[in-house]
Structure 1
Amino acid sequence: MPSSRSLRSTLRQIRSELASQLFDHILPFWLAQQDPHHGGFYGSITTTPDPGAPKGLVMTARHLWTFSQAFLSRPNPAYLEAAGNAYRFLTHAFYDATHRGFFWSVHPDGAPLSRVKKLYGNAFAIYALSLYYEATGDQDALRIARETFDLVETRGRDRTHGGYYEAFTEDWSTPLPEPLGEGETPAPKTMNTHLHILEAYSAFSRIDREPTVREAMEHLIRIFRTHIASSEHLGLYFTEDWSPMGGGISFGHDIEATWLLAEAVELLYGHPLPDWFLSWIRPMVEETAQALEAHGGSLPNEQREDGSFDRARVWWVQAEAFVGFLNAYQVFGEARYLEHALTVWRFIMDHLVDREGGEWFWAVTPEGTPLAGYEKGGMWKASYHNSRACLEGMRRIDAILEEERT
């Protein structure tokens, strides 16, 4: 590690880069992708937006989260206007006034396309509505967030085996092993949905102190300890009674889970984090650190079940690695983890930032060459992962610098 003075200088420089990335590069790109005719944001963007592309629940909720959080960080009226645009489209187009909850996708004009109720998407709605309420005090946003939380708990939760079903029919009557997206394994229960329900409940717990919210978060922590994160890697797909269904290793989810779990545990039990949590989560941090070291300072997308690697350096995986290793340094105090965070950030700045077309590339090769054929924005790539990485990075670097001063 560099000297203390040199480290402070490096961290201040990276904090400046994070602010510039967020406020001068990422957010302006997305402000220009709002649909002026139908509301919300365009459903697909390559070099230009596609006005005819369907719009996704996850995409819309992520934009709502981003611009609500951006407004809380820097109260620019344009951010609040964009958040309001996403909020109106979310609650008017995706919201099911008959059966409650949110549809999975809609046509560009807001007419329902897929009426399936996927808990992953409904969790993102809770997450986004919680932040919009924080930013605006809008009581309807709070009401719908509470209603959706209650729905997930009463309909979505498996009271026999624990955890949450993956998806339901439109009227919430029948569970569906619906895959999240192309290439995903259809399964009754998945790591990804549980991780983002926990993320949503952490945000919701800041605006709703009801004991039911705390109980649900504690239940999710138990599910992770018992079934999903019972070893140094997350299990990905499960049967209804939690028998593993395989799936390989998702390095981005492993490191993302370490900091989202830390956030939830701190909200539940306070700081410092309890010893049982530190001993539980350390092996996952260490395994991801070894993967980063073995792959030259950036993370491959995944290791398949046959042992081969998808070596693409995907934007969200690197964003989560940056935040996750900053968190690991804060939690464990090991300098190597901070070095990893700084190395990943340099890879992002050198290779993933699209300095001509704006925003970040979806993926690049290990050497940093952009991979062709990917959207700049769409159902899965929105303003969320990289904006959140910038916001988390600024907050965490501020905390590290403050601790250095004291």
Structure 2
Amino acid sequence: MLNDYVAWIRDLALPTWADRGFDADAGRFRERLDHVGAPIAVPHRAMVQARQIFVFAHAAECGWSTEGTQLAERAMASLERDFAEHDGDETSFAFSIDPATRAIVSPVRDAYAHAFVLFSIAALYRLNGNDRLLELADRTVRFVERRLTDPLYGGLFDALPAPGEKRQNPHMHLLEAYLFLERAAPGRGYVERAAGLVALFRQHFVANERLLEYFAEDWSVSARAVWEPGHHFEWVWLLGEYAALSGEDTTRWADALYASAIGQGLAGGLIVDEISAGDDAILKNSHRVWPHTEAIKAAATRHAAGDADAHRFADAMAAGLIGTFLDRPFAGGWTDHVTAVGLPLVDYVPASSLYHLVLAGSVAAKGFAAAPTLAKAER
């Protein structure tokens, strides 16, 4: 099933989103499509633009998209034009804009969105080597470190204006961005920044071998003491990537997260959304597309470490994706969220999930012998 999954990414999903999912007049990606693949007029978020820039830059690097470079470069230009604000030696990005007028809808500076801006820069720089992208990365990092970082308790504010709550999720994606930047442009301090985020992970995020999601500003545990199996899988892969770049042994943490996600995180062969940190009771027995992609990536990490069952698990996750989520409601689309019995919970297809799908496809293609090798797209 991994073969079929990778082939679907390459042959159906990417062409569909390069066409229907891109506004050629605006030079910008669509936020979401309806049940027949037509664009829906909702505010466009910087986070989604950044994710799609990554998708098509990465697909071009993999040889899966002949138009990926052009689309990614055009979208990066419009991301700067429409969302960015340059202030001194810093650059920040508004949360969302009106797709028709380009007017700012939300001026909030969101930590999660800035992590993905850096992630997209890494992918595009790796593809085209444009040094101006590294300058933009430096300016964005300065904003993150000076404005979005809590000087008292450490870690990221969720957004500016800052709420009282903190989340592990923006830190996870900032770690991802720094790891990709380190691979694209080593020796610029990115792996050291990644080390600081892994230290936060060890100090605050994990309790009783569960990755907690929500915290008060001082890192005390929020009343919402929950964990998500999908994020356990995501951290397993990231800890493996960090270990490869830093030389630090992360096995203990990765093993614990993988074991709990496998042991408590599945129902009916699919990954559940949310579990109580107190007693591991399932709180949300619904299923999203993205945790299954993260499970494939985590399984690839385990497979590389010699886990004999990891390949089978990855194949089962690919089968779950194909059987429940993919290629509906139109070819190259997906049902993003379903109930415990598989009924759709959304009536649109969000562009934001393509990042998860494509990255898992490339990890599978590299990590498992059963998956097809990366090859130039023939279209």
Q: How does the TM-score come out when normalised to structure 2?
A: 0.89
Percent identity among equivalent residues? 24
Q: 1:158 deviation in Å?
A: 2.7
- 1:165-200 CA distance string (max 9 Å, x none): 21124xxxxxx11xxxxxxxx61x210011011001
1:126 aligns with 2:118: yes
1:296 aligns with 2:287: no
What is the match of residue 165 of structure 1? 157
Q: How does 1:35-54 map to 2 (within 5 A)?
A: 35-47=23-35, 48-50=37-39, 52-54=41-43
CA distance in structure 2 between the aligned counterparts of 1:257 and 1:135, rounded to whole angstroms: 25
State which of 209, 213, 226 in structure 1 corresponds to 2:190: 213
State which of 352, 357, 375 in structure 2 corresponds to 1:386: 357
What is the match of residue 314 of structure 2? 341
8 Å CA contact 2:209–2:260 kept in 1: the answer is yes
8 Å CA contact 2:3–2:370 kept in 1: the answer is no
1:83 aligns with 2:72: yes
What is the match of residue 254 of structure 1? 232
CA distance in structure 1 between the aligned counterparts of 2:64 and 2:289, rounded to whole angstroms: 27
* Paired amino acid for 1:140: R
Q: 1:230 deviation in Å?
A: 4.0
Q: How does 1:357-368 map to 2 (within 5 A)?
A: 357-358=330-331, 359-367=333-341
State which of 116, 119, 135 in structure 1 corresponds to 2:127: 135
Q: 1:281 deviation in Å?
A: 2.2
1:17 aligns with 2:4: yes
SS in 1 for 2:93: coil
State the 4+ residue runs in structure 1 displaced beyond 4 angstroms.
398-402
Q: 1:327 deviation in Å?
A: 1.6
State which of 80, 94, 99 in structure 2 corresponds to 1:103: 94
Alpha-carbon spacing, 1:382–1:355, altered in 2? closer, same or farther (3 Å): closer
- 1:320-366 CA distance string (max 9 Å, x none): 112212222322x2323332222111111222112560222112344
What is the match of residue 148 of structure 1? 140
1:350 aligns with 2:323: yes
CA distance in structure 2 between the aligned counterparts of 1:336 and 1:299, rounded to whole angstroms: 17
Q: 1:157 deviation in Å?
A: 2.3
Q: Which runs of 5+ in 1 are unaligned?
A: 1-13, 170-175, 178-185
Q: How many residues align?
A: 364
State which of 170, 173, 180 in structure 2 corresponds to 1:193: 170
SS in 1 for 2:105: strand
State which of 303, 312, 323 in structure 2 corresponds to 1:329: 303
- What root-mean-square deviation, in Å, do the aligned CA atoms of Structure 1 and Structure 2 show? 2.4
What is the match of residue 376 of structure 2? none
CA distance in structure 2 between the aligned counterparts of 1:384 and 1:247, rounded to whole angstroms: 27
Q: Which runs of 5+ in 2 are unaligned?
A: 374-379
Which stretch of the first structure deviates more once superposed, 126-135 or 237-246? 237-246
- 1:81-134 CA distance string (max 9 Å, x none): 221232122111111134621111111032211111111100100000111111
Which stretch of the first structure deviates more once superposed, 94-103 or 317-326? 94-103
